[in-house]
Amino acid sequence: MRAFAAMLLLLLLWGPCVQGQQACIQDSLVDYLDADFVRVASPKQAFYTRVKQYTTAAGGTWSMYYPGGQQRSAVTYASFRRLTLQGPALDRYPNGATKLRYEADDGVVHGYLDGFYPDGTRKRRDLYDHGRLVKGQYFGPDGQPIEPYLSLLQQPAFPGGLAALTAAIQQHLVYPADAVRSAAEGQVMVSFTVTARGDVTEVRVLRPGNAWLDAAAVAAVRQLPPFEPGRIDGERMPIGMLVPITFKASGAMKTLRSLGL
C-alpha cells in the first residue's frame, strides 16, 4: 500500500480563479466541501468552494476558496484523469499569506518546497529530486531548526498497522460465485481516499479488469473502519491511498474449469 504520487500532497491544493467570475467558472466543474474537505450537496452546507477549469483537453487548474472568497490554493494539472500535477502550486492561509509553495514535474514535487507560518516566518525548506526527498529542514516559529525533522506528509494509519488492515480486508472479502465457477484470479488495485476525519471514501478500481473480482474488492474496502487521518504539514487532510487485493483460485477450481465443469 502506498500513497498516490500525484495526490500525495495535494488533495488540499486546488488552483486559481476568482469566485463569482462567470468567465472563469464557465467550462469548469464546481463543487462544495465542508471544513473536513468532504463533498456536500449545496453551497449553503459548504465551507470551501472548489473550481476545476479545463485549459487544455486533458488538464487545467483546480481552485479552492475559503468561506469569505479568499483563495486557499492554486494548482495546475497536466491531466485531471491521471491526477498529474505540472508546474507551480501554492497554498495560502486565510490572511492571504503563503503557506506552501513548490513546483511539480510529471506528477511529483521537483525542486524546493517552502513552507511558512502565518506571519511569514519560514517553517520548512525541503529539496526534492522528482519526488524523492534529498534534504529537509524544519524550523520553529523562532526561525531555529528543529530536530528530528518532521516530514511534510504523514500517511493515514490503520489501527493495528498493515497486518490488521490486511486482516480487515480479508474478513469482508467474498469470492464471487461467478468468479468461482470460472476460476478467475488476479490482483485488483483499489484506490480510495481517507478523509480528514479518517473515513474511507471514493473507493474505485485503478485499472478495471474482471468485473466480478473488481466489485468484490471494492465492496471489501468500503467496509473498512476509520483510519487515523493523514496529515500534511501537521494539518489533517484527505490522503489518497492504494491497496492491492489478490484473488487466487484453488487447484480444485482450476481442475473443474479445465474439465468444463
pLDDT interval class at 227 (50, 70, 90): very high
Distance, in Å, from the CA atom of 71 to the CA atom of 74, rounded to the nearest integer, reads 8
500517511: which residue's cell? Answer: 155
> What burial class does residue 108 get, using C-beta atoms within 10 Å of its C-beta: 0-12 exposed, 13-18 middle, 19+ buried?
middle
Taken in order 11, 17, 20, 26, the sign of the CA dihedral is negative
- Tell me how long the chain is: 261
Q: Which of 183, 149, 170, 165 is nearest to 225 (CA)?
A: 165
pLDDT at 51: 93
Amino acid at 250: S
The answer to whether 91 and 101 have CB atoms below 8 angstroms apart is yes
DSSP one-letter code for 23: H
CATH 3.50.50.60 fits domain 161-258: no
109 with 136: CB under 8 angstroms? no
User: CATH 3.30.1150.10 spans which residues of the chain?
Assistant: 161-258
For the segment 134-177, what is each residue's pLDDT rounded down to a tens digit?
999 999 999 999 999 989 999 999 999 999 999 999 999 888 77
- Residue 10 CA to residue 255 CA, distance in Å, equals 48
For residue 184, which amino acid is it?
A
**Residue 118 confidence (pLDDT):** 95
| Burial classification of residue 96, based on how many CB atoms lie within 10 Å of its CB (0-12 exposed, 13-18 middle, 19 or more buried) | exposed
Lowest mean pLDDT among 135-149, 208-222, 243-257: 243-257
Q: Residue 43 to residues 27, 40, 193: CA-CA distances in angstroms?
A: 19, 8, 23
Q: Single out the residue of 21, 82, 28 nearest to residue 54, CA to CA.
A: 28
